Structure 1
């Protein structure tokens, strides 16, 4: 059974606008990706991201832009980046965006590799693969949020990576979702409903100082 209090929405909520916000937030992420280049710093990348947002007509941010480079890819949302890190010639980074379009919240994230860095590329691909495995388990097995993250942890270990258990996913909705008391997906005892929850996967290499991140909306209509 769903949890009505944790899955409440506002009067403006429209599932079609949620999907549109998702699509436009992905467009923003790839616009930033096109501007990433060796030598750029996280702060410089955030400055350029603001121009991408203006071009797409983003109304506002609902969480700060996160662009993590190199060793900072193991940091969580609430941890500060190590300062003065710049993208190397053979390196990785991730982008995490929370944007508002038409009064609805988009939240997406993905990891990318520049140059020749096969282990970093494998980590980025593992985060995407694990995301899709967990999302498919939600679609086909109707697992609770708690069960989804238990499944994710077991699969990450089997794949040879460390899952960051501090990252548990969360609600989105018509802005601001915080008033709807959704909390973390990983604490949800019921199966999450379609189009309301963000599944987050953050992996780290078992011994090297880099990781990968991937997140997107759990939706029956999103399979890629």
Structure 2
């Protein structure tokens, strides 16, 4: 890919601000944790989605830029494009994740994390592993300046070594001042250069080897 083509995939608008990208990241992750703190066993995915929208409105968001996703139990194996199961209820010893795409001050936040209700040790380990793997891939980006495909090869190798299975369909994406979609950047996992700071979301989704549940973590790749 030419330098011009690569540069086009990291284009930003006239209003772009790295500080506002960081603010959007922080506010979105704050919302993820606020919502998770109010999720309870017995709640359906639809009820959790409605709760999430209420929390975001109370926090003063500009708008939602991608659909609210809340996955319970086996639905944590689903990829982004699959619909929620509105009647799926969270169990007493269960796992769930929240994925939000929200605009704050004209900039796109995208954050997701996995949580566990109860004390199932394997589910707790799965949730922790998704975050740990995200951190390891970010460190690899920081220190080795790897391009997108190499980052996800590293993620797959590390997931396997940790005893989990990486979902290869989840490969990260661009964010920017709203809307990033005009830049046609494709997936981070296909981006043939080291991603610049504040422009890409690193997504990690793993599953237990038995394929009964999974975990998800995503955040903005930023150098400071």
- TM-score by structure 1 length? 0.96
Instruction: Give the alignment of 1:45-64 within 5 angstroms.
Output: 45-64=48-67
Shift, 1:182, TM fit: 1.5
For 1:98 and 1:83, locate their aligned partners in 2 and report how far apart those are by CA, in whole Å: 19
Among residues 52, 76, 84, which one is paired with 1:73 in the alignment?
76
Residue matched to 2:167:
164
Shift, 1:41, TM fit: 0.6
> Structure 1 stretch 6-15 or stretch 81-90: which is displaced more?
81-90
Shift, 1:180, TM fit: 1.4
Shift, 1:55, TM fit: 1.4
Shift, 1:74, TM fit: 0.4
Match of 1:66, SS state, is strand
How many aligned residue pairs are there?
A: 221
Gaps in structure 1 of 5+ consecutive residues? none
Shift, 1:208, TM fit: 4.0
Among residues 142, 147, 162, which one is paired with 1:144 in the alignment?
147
Shift, 1:83, TM fit: 4.9
Q: Conserved in 1, the CA contact under 8 Å of 2:45 and 2:85?
A: no
For 2:171 and 2:144, locate their aligned partners in 1 and report how far apart those are by CA, in whole Å: 19
Residue matched to 2:137:
134
What's the CA shift string for 1:23-46, capped at 9, x where partnerless?
A: 111111111011100100110011
Shift, 1:125, TM fit: 0.5
Query: Which 4+ runs in 1 deviate beyond 3 A?
Result: none
Residue matched to 1:37:
40
Q: Conserved in 1, the CA contact under 8 Å of 2:202 and 2:220?
A: yes
Among residues 13, 16, 20, which one is paired with 1:10 in the alignment?
13
CA RMSD of aligned residues (A): 1.1
Among residues 191, 204, 207, which one is paired with 2:207 in the alignment?
204
What's the CA shift string for 1:188-209, capped at 9, x where partnerless?
A: 1100000100000000000041
Shift, 1:80, TM fit: 2.5
Q: Conserved in 1, the CA contact under 8 Å of 2:46 and 2:86?
A: no
Among residues 76, 94, 98, which one is paired with 1:95 in the alignment?
98
What's the CA shift string for 1:44-72, capped at 9, x where partnerless?
A: 01111111111111011110000000000
